[in-house]
Structure 1
Amino acid sequence: MADTTVSVNVRFPQAAADGVKALADIQGVTVSDYIRALVAADLEKNRAVLNDYQNKLAELRRKMKE
């Protein structure tokens, strides 16, 4: 399956938005790129949990078809 890009709306308190903007500016990236990098790092950190979830979900779906 090819990767598909989806848009997700996220709301932040003004102080958090200001902080994210400042950190993105410091790193020389857009706010979107900064947030994408944070999410990618968290997904990678939790890769084992996500793989386990996907495996168990597939197993449950197989059982439901029986």
Structure 2
Amino acid sequence: MPLAFLPNLGTTELVIVAFVSLLMFGNRLPSVMRSLGKSVTEFKKGVSGIEDEIDEAVNVDKKITPPSP
């Protein structure tokens, strides 16, 4: 349940939210969305970097321990 805190969110409510956001941001909406997209991209790059470091550390540990005969 991704929207458990808003169980009755329908089409009418989404249209109202879109209209209010359009009124609040107006002509700044494209720049707000662009900056939001850039921040998501940077977050994904950061997570990817951390995953790469963890994978590298795990692989180094596997190479160091010799298999028992």
Say whether the fold is shared (TM-score over 0.5).
no
Output the TM-score relative to the length of structure 1: 0.40
Output the TM-score relative to the length of structure 2: 0.39
- Which one has the bigger helix percentage? 2
